[in-house]
């Protein structure tokens, strides 16, 4: 015990704060061939969350530990004694992506401090769905983002419902979407009357010490990987929120998985941005929407391709469009902060 | 005193509502004849995933005791009828849970009937079905696979047509009169009743002998007993090193999960024109199933043991007609297209051209509002 305390006094927190330096890949042809999340997962055809796992594992590289809270990316990837993961992965409970990430980072540091493993920067990435992250695990994620002495990334794959357990509504489900808990009927057409939770911006605004918060979309795979690499390189607790088109929960032909991701950005429904060391930067097409170089497509193009909005009538499309227009024209920070000065 | 059981094999999510309609229809019809029955899904298929084969069952008995005896099973075996509402399922089914590849006729009883919706001839279809140790019958309802959807349901009458055909091939389970009465009760639609009746009249059975069908042995694996499982629920990870493929120097073939291959999920497969491919990487980079092998000469070859046929590669490919999704019925094996191309480029081009020009109509779920109404109206459904 005495030796341990002595060690602790001699080495400061900073000795363990170095990260792997993961430079961005300049274009798809520079992306390496190595796969750390491979074939043979039990996901749907065209699952963009599986695509996100593949990109994240590729971006993090072999010296990574992945923690998965309950959700599709747990159930489909480790059930029945087989897995597509080629890097260490551990299951954690539904709401505990944040706490498991802190615990793992702290555990690694303790092992290194005690000389039980070689001192090296290891990526700790906790993965959660919108149910596990934006609903149940929000407080644990908030706590993790306050633990600035640890390096960890929390990656939220948001497919806008509890799709794994057969599509129940979540805090991330869009207004009006059909789900097991919000089926449209003759008495009431719109059952989910809540607007989608603004998770990434909430976490960025609420945790000033967090050095990196970003939104991504797998329709832009190189950008997505580079943002994961930036989050892991910058250090401290970081958070990335990904919108993943879900053929099961959104009810569409799986071949549209990529196109719907692009449309979510192009219609302005899904803004891409990063908050790096206190500075906001809009990214990709969202940046061009703000600067006026790209005209937002009508939301109808995105909504009509999905069976979950098949019950929409004109006034529903109009309402949805008006809410999106507000987001870019009336919000304090367009696409990010959802209020204006009184 | 008798019990009858029907197995419905279907595409997860896409055909879940369709399978439910069929199983409920059987039970309701049986009740019209004074029998009792129940319909249920196989526990191991939940949570269902798009395209991954799943099963629901309908069991009908004269007495409650007999019914309970049948319900004390995970999945009924020796079924009287197996229904598949997509003929691509005839190539074998790898369900969500722990099975390997099951032949479509595996749980069919001696002399039972495999009832399939298809536009293929019985002889062509039999060639794709694994051989069975006992004779059975194949009955076909002429129809395209109906990917009728979970919520936005395409009511193209596939449900009642299969119910009508069932009354023909298994009258001991339920008679046509009872079936028509149940359909009228449930939907109150003369068209649906007429569709069921027409299917009853049109359905013919073809006997299939023990020496007919695909003689390939479907892949299987040994389930580890509890003594072989490791402490703390440890699952061995994949090897991060690529596979060593004999005869291939260079390229990259990722190590893949050996016990869940996912190809039976596929109803269409990408066919790739390597002559027009620009090696842009987008198909490889955007494939959620990591199914593209990088070849020694830098092409991307969709591995048919891993491809589940989502069609994202076709959607992202920037070259016109370089990646084309073609219905699974055009293919008999999972061989590498790139190897075929390197051996005989002209022959490959002819094969490719034939496949992408003569491809049968494809259906793969919901595209836009009003689509199902249009399809039903113009009869393409």
Q: Please write the tens of the pLDDT for every residue from B250-306.
A: 999 999 999 999 999 999 999 999 999 999 999 999 999 999 999 999 999 999 999
User: For residue B56, what pLDDT is reported?
Assistant: 96
Nearest Cβ partner of B285 from A28, A82, A84? A28
Residue A67 bridge partners (DSSP): A90, A126
Would you say residue B33 has pLDDT above 60?
yes
Would you say residue A283 has pLDDT above 90?
yes
Both tokens assigned to B66: 């007999």
> Does the beta carbon of B296 lie under 8 angstroms from any beta carbon of chain A?
no
Cα dihedral value A280, A281, A286, A287, nearest 10? 130
Q: What burial class does residue B32 get, using C-beta atoms within 10 Å of its C-beta: 0-12 exposed, 13-18 middle, 19+ buried?
A: middle
Contact: A28, B51; criterion CB under 8 Å: no
Q: What burial class does residue B202 get, using C-beta atoms within 10 Å of its C-beta: 0-12 exposed, 13-18 middle, 19+ buried?
A: middle
Contacts of B94 (CB under 8 A, 6+ apart): B52, B53, B100, B101, B102, B260, B261, B262, B263, B264, B265
pLDDT tens digits, residue range A147-201? Answer: 999 999 999 999 999 999 999 999 999 999 999 999 999 999 999 999 999 999 9
Contacts of A141 (CB under 8 A, 6+ apart): A97, A98, A128, A133, A154, A203, A239
- Most B CBs within 10 A among A26, A28, A34, A39, hence the mutation to make, goes to A39
Share of chain B above pLDDT 90, in %: 76
Contacts of B328 (CB under 8 A, 6+ apart): B88, B91, B266, B267, B268, B269, B309
Distance CA B250, CA B254 (A): 12
Contact: A76, B289; criterion CB under 8 Å: no
Distance CA A70, CA A67 (A): 10
- Across the range B213-226, mean pLDDT stands at 89
Contact: A36, B240; criterion CB under 8 Å: yes
Would you say residue A319 has pLDDT above 80?
yes
- Across the range B166-181, mean pLDDT stands at 96
Structural domains of chain B, ranges and CATH numbers in brackets: 3-208 (3.40.920.10), 237-257+268-357 (3.30.70.20)
For residue B93, give Cα distances in angstroms to A32, A235, B12, B126: 34, 46, 12, 15
Q: Among residues A220, A157, A255, which one has the least CA distance to residue A31?
A: A220
Distance CA A169, CA B128 (A): 41
Contacts of A83 (CB under 8 A, 6+ apart): A41, A77, A89, B235, B236, B237, B238, B257
Distance CA A30, CA B187 (A): 58
- Rounded to the nearest 5°, which phi and psi values hold at B117? -90, 130
> Does the beta carbon of B216 lie under 8 angstroms from any beta carbon of chain A?
no
Q: Among residues A265, A255, A287, which one has the least CA distance to residue A218?
A: A265
Would you say residue A1 has pLDDT above 50?
no
Give yes or no for a contact between A85 and A58, defined as CB atoms under 8 angstroms apart.
Answer: no
For residue A238, give Cα distances in angstroms to A135, A235, A272: 18, 7, 16
Structural domains of chain A, ranges and CATH numbers in brackets: 8-20+43-329 (3.40.50.970)
Distance from the Cα of A190 to chain B's closest Cα (Å) equals 15
Average pLDDT, chain A: 94
Task: Give A288-301 as a DSSP string.
Answer: HHHHTSSPPPPHHH
> Does the beta carbon of B312 lie under 8 angstroms from any beta carbon of chain A?
yes
Given its phi and psi angles, is residue B167 left (phi above 0), alpha (psi -120 to 50 degrees) or beta? alpha
Q: Among residues B214, B145, B166, which one has the least CA distance to residue B58?
A: B166
Would you say residue A48 has pLDDT above 50?
yes
User: For residue B371, what pLDDT is reported?
Assistant: 85
| Other Cβ atoms closer than 10 A to A34 | 15
The one-character DSSP state at A254 is: G
Both tokens assigned to B339: 């190897």
> Does the beta carbon of B310 lie under 8 angstroms from any beta carbon of chain A?
yes
pTM: 0.95
Distance from the Cα of A72 to chain B's closest Cα (Å) equals 9
Considering only alpha carbons, which residue of chain A is nearest residue B98? A80
- Strands of B249-320, DSSP E: 268-272, 292-294, 300-302
Both tokens assigned to B173: 């389970």
User: For residue B374, what pLDDT is reported?
Assistant: 83
Nearest Cβ partner of A45 from B252, B265, B369? B265
Share of chain A above pLDDT 70, in %: 96
Spell out a b/e string for A192-205, using b for 16 or more CB atoms within 10 Å of the CB, else e. Answer: beeebbbbbbbbbe
For residue B85, give Cα distances in angstroms to A260, A320, B19, B59, B163: 28, 37, 8, 19, 12
Q: What burial class does residue A76 get, using C-beta atoms within 10 Å of its C-beta: 0-12 exposed, 13-18 middle, 19+ buried?
A: buried
Both tokens assigned to A195: 């607007």
| Global ipTM | 0.94
User: Would strands A64-69 and A89-92 be described as parallel, antiparallel, or unpaired?
Assistant: parallel
Contact: A40, B288; criterion CB under 8 Å: no
pLDDT tens digits, residue range B221-238? Answer: 888 888 888 877 888 899
């Amino acid at each position: 015990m005495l030796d341990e305390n002595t060690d602790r006094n001699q080495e400061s927190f900073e000795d363990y704060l170095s990260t792997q330096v993961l430079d961005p890949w300049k274009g798809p042809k520079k992306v390496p061939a190595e796969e750390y999340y491979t074939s043979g997962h039990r996901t749907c055809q065209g699952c963009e969350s599986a695509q996100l796992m593949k990109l994240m594992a590729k971006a993090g590289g072999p010296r990574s530990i992945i923690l998965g809270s309950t959700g599709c990316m747990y159930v489909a990837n480790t059930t029945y004694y087989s897995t597509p993961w080629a890097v260490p992965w551990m299951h954690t409970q539904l709401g505990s992506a944040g706490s498991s990430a802190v615990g793992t980072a702290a555990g690694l540091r303790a092992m290194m401090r005690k000389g039980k493993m070689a001192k090296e920067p290891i990526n700790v990435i906790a993965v959660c769905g919108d149910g596990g992250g934006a609903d149940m695990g929000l407080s644990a994620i908030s706590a993790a983002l306050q633990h600035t002495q640890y390096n960890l990334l929390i990656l939220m794959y948001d497919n806008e419902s509890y799709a794994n357990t057969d599509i129940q509504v979540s805090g991330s489900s869009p207004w009006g979407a059909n789900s097991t808990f919000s089926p449209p009927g003759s008495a009431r057409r719109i059952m989910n009357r809540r607007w989608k939770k603004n998770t990434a911006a909430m976490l960025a605004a609420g945790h000033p010490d967090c050095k990196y918060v970003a939104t991504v979309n797998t329709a832009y795979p190189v950008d997505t990987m580079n943002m994961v690499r930036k989050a892991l390189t910058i250090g401290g607790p970081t958070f990335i929120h990904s919108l993943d088109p879900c053929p099961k929960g959104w009810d569409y032909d799986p071949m549209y998985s990529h196109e719907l991701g692009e449309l979510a950005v192009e219609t302005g429904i899904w803004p891409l941005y990063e908050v790096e060391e206190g500075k906001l930067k809009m990214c990709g097409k969202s940046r061009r929407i703000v600067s006026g170089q790209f005209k937002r497509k009508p939301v109808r193009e995105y909504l009509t391709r999905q069976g979950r909005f098949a019950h929409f009538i004109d006034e529903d499309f109009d309402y949805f469009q008006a809410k999106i227009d507000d987001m870019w024209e009336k919000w304090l920070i367009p696409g990010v902060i959802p209020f204006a000065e009184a | 005193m008798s019990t009858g059981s029907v197995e419905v094999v279907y595409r997860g999510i896409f055909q879940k509502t369709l399978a439910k309609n069929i199983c409920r229809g059987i039970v309701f019809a049986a009740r019209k004849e004074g029998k009792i029955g129940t319909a249920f899904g196989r526990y191991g298929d939940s949570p269902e995933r798009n395209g991954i084969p799943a099963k629901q069952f309908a069991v009908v008995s004269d007495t409650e005791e007999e019914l309970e005896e049948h319900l004390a099973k995970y999945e009924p075996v020796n079924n009287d009828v197996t229904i598949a509402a997509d003929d691509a399922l005839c190539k074998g089914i790898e369900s969500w849970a722990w099975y390997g590849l099951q032949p479509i006729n595996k749980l069919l009883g001696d002399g039972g009937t495999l009832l399939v919706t298809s536009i293929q001839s019985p002889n062509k279809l039999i060639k794709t079905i694994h051989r069975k140790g006992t004779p059975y019958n194949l009955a076909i309802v002429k129809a395209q696979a109906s990917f009728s959807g979970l919520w936005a349901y395409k009511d193209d009458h596939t449900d009642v047509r299969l119910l009508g055909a069932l009354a023909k091939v298994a009258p001991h389970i339920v008679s046509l009169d009872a079936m028509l009465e149940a359909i009228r009760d449930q939907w109150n639609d003369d068209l649906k009743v007429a569709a069921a009746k027409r299917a009853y009249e049109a359905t013919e059975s073809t006997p299939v002998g023990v020496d007919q069908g695909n003689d390939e042995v479907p892949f299987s694996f040994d389930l580890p007993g509890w003594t072989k499982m490791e402490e703390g629920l440890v699952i061995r990870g994949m090897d991060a090193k690529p596979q060593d493929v004999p005869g291939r120097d260079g390229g990259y073939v990722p190590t893949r999960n050996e016990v869940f291959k996912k190809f039976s999920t596929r109803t269409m497969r990408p066919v790739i024109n390597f002559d027009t491919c620009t090696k842009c990487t987008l198909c490889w980079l955007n494939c959620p199933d990591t199914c593209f092998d990088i070849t020694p000469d830098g092409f991307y070859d969709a591995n048919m043991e891993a491809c589940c046929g989502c069609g994202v590669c076709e959607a992202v490919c920037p070259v016109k007609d370089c990646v084309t999704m073609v219905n699974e019925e055009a293919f008999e094996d999972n061989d590498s297209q790139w190897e075929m191309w390197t051996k005989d480029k002209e022959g490959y081009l002819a094969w490719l051209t034939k496949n992408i020009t003569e491809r049968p109509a494809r259906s793969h779920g919901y595209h836009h509002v009003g689509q199902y109404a249009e399809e039903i109206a113009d009869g393409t459904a």
